Amino acid sequence: MIRTLSLFEPEPLRFMSLTSGSCGNCYYIGTTVEGILIDAGIGARTIRKRLKKAGVDFDTILGVFITHDHSDHIKGVGGLGEKMGKPIFSTIGVLSHINENLTVQPKLSTASRREIRKNETIGIGNFSVTAFNVIHDGHDNMGYRVEYEGDVIVIATDLGDITDEVSRHLMQAQHIVIESNYDDEMLMNGPYPQTLKNRISSGNGHLSNRKASEWMRKHWTPQMKDVFLCHLSAQNNTPELAYNSMSNALEQAGAKDGETVRLKVLPRRMESDLMIL
């Protein structure tokens, strides 16, 4: 079959994780001509290097959107904002606390900051980006919905529960990046002190394999093409447990990895492949 190429055909959208987990989080969404980053939890030079290795031109990055002010999401914002001139977008609740974090060097000047509000859509290049509230224990916390030429990708990480608001956004997405932080049993029987176990599993901590999978089992629809599991715990989870939990849920919902949906566990520390969405 011959595919007719229109001059106005949109560039394919690509996604990659540069790192995921408590060691650092950073996600790329973009085309060959424009892109954005969500979070910058590793050094700016490493981010640039990993993008380059994947064939992504750093100059095409239009801005960086921050989910919250924990170190594993903001360590690289000073370098990206101050040294490399990338605007850093988040709510005032996050932006005003970034510089209190000791890992952020250099500090972020007001010139690099771009204040956004939750539930307001902003245009950047050909992307429309909307922050939505999530429940977590940063100073302010949000997920992002990114729309490009009708494709919707939703990133929901560092959240204790999937609230109705989060659910509404996820249900509109073709591409979902969702936290699958811990296995209930591994956390319960693991080495963490009880206070930390409580913090993680409370409604404003992290999302378990079970919570992420249960949501999917109830809500998967055929328009959901990609499910990327992020922010896996090194101590309280394994990629196999996270994958199996979600894969079973998808099968119960009538979806199968490799056929109706693509299910991937995003690697900790290392970058994923650059994937066409």
Contact residues for 87 (Cβ-Cβ < 8 A; gap 6+): 62, 63, 64, 81, 112, 113, 114
Nearer to Zn ion, 61 or 94 (CB): 94
Q: Which is nearer to Zn ion, 41 or 63 (CB)?
A: 41
Do residues 154 and 145 lie in contact, with contact meaning Cβ atoms separated by under 8 Å?
A: yes
Range in contact with Zn ion (rule: CB under 5 A) among 58-66, 88-96, 156-164, 170-178: 156-164
Q: How far is the CB of 109 from Zn ion (least distance, A)?
A: 24
Helix axes 164-171, 209-219, angle to 10 degrees: 60
Nearer to Zn ion, 140 or 158 (CB): 158
Q: How many chain residues interact with Zn ion (CB under 5 A)?
A: 3
In angstroms, give the least distance from the CB of 155 to Zn ion.
12
Contact indicator for 58, 26 with CB cutoff of 8 Å: no
Q: Rounded distance, CA 168 to CA 119, Å?
A: 12
For the bound state, the minimum distance from the C-beta of residue 260 to Zn ion, rounded and expressed in Å, comes to 30
| Contact flag: residue 70 with Zn ion (CB under 5 A) | yes
The answer to whether residues 102 and 78 touch, using CB atoms and an 8 Å cutoff, is no
Q: Where are the beta strands (DSSP E) in 171-233?
A: 175-179, 226-230
The least distance separating Zn ion from the CB of residue 52, rounded to whole angstroms, comes to 25
| 3-class DSSP state of 144 | strand
Nearer to Zn ion, 42 or 250 (CB): 42
Give the nearest distance from C-beta 248 to Zn ion in angstroms: 25
Q: Is 69 in the site for Zn ion (CB under 5 A)?
A: no
Rounded to the nearest whole angstrom, what is the least distance from the CB of residue 185 to Zn ion in the complex? 22
Q: Which is nearer to Zn ion, 70 or 75 (CB)?
A: 70
Is residue 158 involved in binding Zn ion (CB under 5 A)?
yes
Sorted by sequence, the CB contacts under 8 Å of residue 82 that are 6+ apart come out as 106, 107, 108, 109, 112
CB of 270 to Zn ion, least distance (A): 17
Q: Name which position in 26, 36, 65, 72 contacts Zn ion (CB under 5 A).
A: 72
Interface region with Zn ion, contact rule CB under 5 A, candidates 30-38, 68-76, 113-121, 251-259: 68-76
- Contact letters (x/-) for Zn ion, 126-145, by CB under 5 A? --------------------
Give the CA angle between residues 173, 174, 180 to the nearest 5°. 75
Instruction: Sheet with 14-19: list strands edge to edge.
Output: 113-115, 88-90, 61-65, 35-38, 26-30, 14-19, 275-276
d(CA 15, CA 274): 6
Which parts of this chain interact with Zn ion (CB under 5 A)?
70, 72, 158
